[in-house]
Amino acid sequence: MAKREKFSIWGREPDTKKGCYEFFQGRKKLWFEGYILQGDDEKYMKEMMSKYYCSPLKPHLVQDVWHKNKDKIIEIKVVLGPVFGEKTFEFWVKKPTYTMSKTIGMVDGKISCTDKKGKPFLMETIDDPGTMFNFSTARCICFPGQTGLTHESAKPKSAVMEALKNAIAQPKIQWKKDQGYRPKIDPRMDAHHVDGKEFKTIFLKFVNTLKISEEEFYQKIYPEHGNYKTNLLEYVNITGWQFKNNLNANTWRETWFDFHEKYREYEMIDPVAHHKLSSDEIKFKTSIRKNVEDLLK
C-alpha cells in the first residue's frame, strides 16, 4: 500500500489531509466574525498559503497572485461567506478609508441639514475602497495529492456538478428563510433533499429525460478539461463553478433550474446529526463490501 502524503500546517508535525483539515476546522471555531488574525495565527496562515495555495492549470490566477501580494498583506480578517455563511477570510493589502460628509435628516417632521442642536447631519462615505483579496483558504486544505486537481482545475464532472448546485443555491437559501429560519440568529440548519428526491436522483432523472448519458451531458457543458474557452462554465472565487452568462449556458442553467424546481422537495435538518448518520451509513456499507470482497473477485 502506498504511503499517504503528509503535510504540515500551523507548525505541527506532518499529518494527513484529513488530520490537517480537522485541525484547521477546529482552529476556525476559535475565531469570531470580524476577528483579525494576529501573531502566530497570521504567521502560520501566510505560511500555509505560500506552501499549499496553488493550481496546476491556472497558476497565473492563483499562486502567482498570492506570491506577488503576500508581503503587502496588512490584515487577515475572518468573515462569513456570501452563500452558505461559512467562515472565510479577507486578505487586505490596503484598508478602505472613509470621509464624513454632510447629509440631510428630519427634525420635527421637516427635512433639515442640522439637528435640533444645530449640528450638521453627517454620513460616512467611502473615500477609497482599499484593496482586498478573498483567496480561498479552503484550497489549502485540499492539498495537492495524486491528481493535484482542485477548484478551478477540477475535472469536468466535478465542475459541472458544482455549477448545477450553484444554480439552485440562492432559491434553496430563500426556502430556508421562508420556513422562518433566521441566518446568524438560529442554530445552523440545512435545507436537505428528502429521501428519494436527492440531488443526484433528480440529476439522473434530468439526463434520462434528455435521453443522453451522464458522460455525454458533461461533455456538452465542459468538452475539454482545462479549456476554459470552449466550456460553458467559469470559476468564481468563493462561490466556485457557475454557468457563464451567455445564450447556451443560460439555456442549460434555466432548463436545469426548472426541472429541479419541479421535482425537488426539501426538509430542514441538523447538519451535525445528519453528518453522523451519513458517516455511520458509509461505514456500514463499507463493512458489507468487506465481508464479501473475496467473493466479488
First to last CA, the chain: 19
CB atoms within 10 A of CB 180: 8
Kindly write down the DSSP assignment for every residue of 8-47, as one continuous string: --TTPPPB-HHHHHHHHHHHHTT--TTPBP-HHHHHHHHH
Q: Count Cα atoms within 13 angstroms, Cβ side, for 159.
A: 30
- One of 3.40.50, 2.60.200, 2.40.10, 3.10.450 is the CATH number of 17-92+131-141, namely 3.10.450
- Cell reading at 204: 439522473
Q: Please, which residues have CB within 8 angstroms of residue 44's CB and are 6 or more apart in sequence? A: 9, 10, 11
- Give the pLDDT band of residue 143 (cuts 50, 70, 90): low
Q: How far apart are CA 212 and CA 218, in angstroms?
A: 10
Pairing of strands 97-102, 190-193: unpaired
Write phi, then psi, for 41 (nearest 5 degrees). -60, -45
Residue 291 has pLDDT above 50, yes or no: yes
Question: Which tens digit of pLDDT belongs to each residue from 24-51?
Answer: 999 999 999 999 999 999 999 999 999 9
Domain ranges of the chain: 17-92+131-141, 97-128, 154-284
Taking the complete model, does pTM exceed 0.85, yes or no?
no
Residue 1 has pLDDT above 50, yes or no: no
Residue 240 has pLDDT above 80, yes or no: yes
- Cell reading at 227: 479549456
